[in-house]
Structure 1
Amino acid sequence: MTSVSVYKQDGSQAGTVDLNDNIFGITPNENVVFDTVLMQQASQRQGTNGTKSRGQVRGGGKKPWRQKGTGRARQGSIRSPQWVGGGVVFGPSARSYAYHLPKKVTRLAVKSVLSEKVANGDLVVVDSLSFDQPQTKAFASLLASLDAATKTLVVLEDGNDNAARSARNLDRVQVISGKGVNTLDVLNSQKVVITKAALSQLEEVLA
């Protein structure tokens, strides 16, 4: 098993912890990571752009002039696409861009990016993060002592609300739960700081 150092809340070292090699010690699969990132980014698209076709535009029920005898081109409606204010041909319509990949694929992608973080020394395990009340300054000092002051993903166990609120106002710091670790968030971070309790939750999900 791969062992990494465990740090206390004050930044001092508190021993080591063994990581599951089936999660943190695999060979990264770049193709699976790429497919999963595309899926997550597509699912984040709002898809709210839209235009109206000629059947959705208001008005235009009456034929503007008779079919023959005027010398002008025949027209059936003033809401045809060639008219100003008419419908749009083949325009975009509001829709969802989301799609899903098999669970085995998405889990393999998460394992791949986590294994890469461990290999690069960018995964930091903290014994616990306990705050009596939200303390942003104390949380920022903790991240600085762990050399994880910028673009950091903090993974907390469920119910640790004070720690989550302590990091909420910090720039370029994102907080998620151990059960919510995903490929895109791990890739977008330079450091991953995770508590031992959240590590157990993560291993339980990915095992």
Structure 2
Amino acid sequence: MELEVKTLDGASAGSITVSDEIFGLEPRSDILHRVVRWQLAKRQAGTHKAKIRSEVLRTGKKMYKQKGTGRARHGDQSAPQFRGGGKAFGPVPRSHAHDLTKKVRVLGLKHALSAKLKSESLIVVDDATAAEPKTKALKARFESLGLGNVLVIGGAELDQNFTLAARNLPFVDVLPVQGINVYDILRRDKLVLTRSAVESLEERFK
């Protein structure tokens, strides 16, 4: 499959051949859903905590005697049914991560790339560099390509000026090719790959 390569100024920069096994698949929403769910669960902090009755700082003394009062039998006031008492079955710190096979993770990335290409939301550029770290200048170059909500995937090493210029633009993410992932691809309207990023992906999935 041949894809047109552009410059960040919108000019043509030739073409590049990509594999149908990476960019030409029929997107499957079930696989994309599984990978996104795995990503979000893995990054969840899991630091939620509520005190149980043994951790509440209240007296351990029995509220009143067991018999003869006509009231219900109770122990100390840290029981969950009392105001200021511990939480019954409250959340505790834990990991939300769950397993997902490497085969499905790789397939999810391929389907995400294929989905962007099928929806005509994928652009290949010659390189992602900037002469100086000026946000205004980079914004003008993005507007020439019709880019507003975009994820830019560069090579193994990102251009420092380009990264600094893009940092202040809302809805613009810049990642090296090692950091490409399904969630970031799907959360942005457009995906921009540099020529070196495409070559790295082809080599990675060979």
Normalising by structure 1, what TM-score?
A: 0.89
1:109 aligns to what?
108
One-letter code aligned to 1:156:
G
Q: In 1, Cα distance between the equivalents of 2:166 and 2:57?
A: 50
- 2:79 and 2:86 in contact (8 A); partners too: yes
Q: How many residues are matched? A: 205
Q: List structure 1 runs of 4+ shifted beyond 6 angstroms.
A: none
Q: State the distance in 1 between where 2:203 and 2:164 align.
A: 25
Given that 1:179 and 1:202 are in contact with CA atoms closer than 8 Å, whether structure 2 keeps it comes out as no
Q: Secondary structure at the match of 1:153?
A: strand
Quick one: which amino acid aligns to residue 188 of structure 1?
A: R
Q: How does 1:64-75 map to 2 (within 5 A)?
A: 64-75=63-74
Unaligned runs of 5+ in 2: none
On the 8 A contact 2:46/2:95 being kept in 1, the answer is yes
Q: Is the contact between residue 8 and residue 141 of structure 2 (CA under 8 Å) also seen in structure 1?
A: yes
Partner of 1:95: 94
Q: Is contact 1:152–1:193 with CA below 8 Å preserved after alignment?
A: yes
**For 1:34, what is the secondary structure of its paired residue?**
helix
Give the secondary-structure state (helix, strand or coil) at the position aligned to 2:141.
helix
Give 2:28's aligned residue: 29
Contact in 1 for aligned 2:8/2:142 (Cα 8 Å): no
Does the aligned pair in 2 maintain the 1:181–1:202 contact within 8 Å?
Answer: no
Cα deviation for residue 193 of structure 1 reads 0.9
* TM-score computed with the length of structure 2 as normaliser: 0.90
**Residue correspondence of structure 1 range 129-140 to structure 2 within 5 A:** 129-140=128-139
> Unaligned regions of 5+ residues in structure 1, if any?
none
Q: Distance in 1 between matches of 2:38 and 2:98?
A: 6
Equivalent pair of 1:24/1:111 in contact (CA under 8 Å): yes
2:144 corresponds to: 145
For 2:81 and 2:194, the matched residues in 1 are separated by 62
Q: Is the 8 A contact 2:8 2:145 kept in 1?
A: no
- Are the aligned partners of 1:59 and 1:79 in contact in 2 as well (CA < 8 Å)? yes
Alignment of 1:168-183 (within 5 A): 168-183=167-182
- What corresponds to 1:43 in structure 2? 42
SS at match of 1:129: coil
Distance 1:171 1:9 in 2: 18
Percent identity, aligned pairs only, is 39
Show CA shifts across 1:16-67 (max 9, x none).
Answer: 0111222111222222112112222323433333211111111232223332
RMSD: 1.8
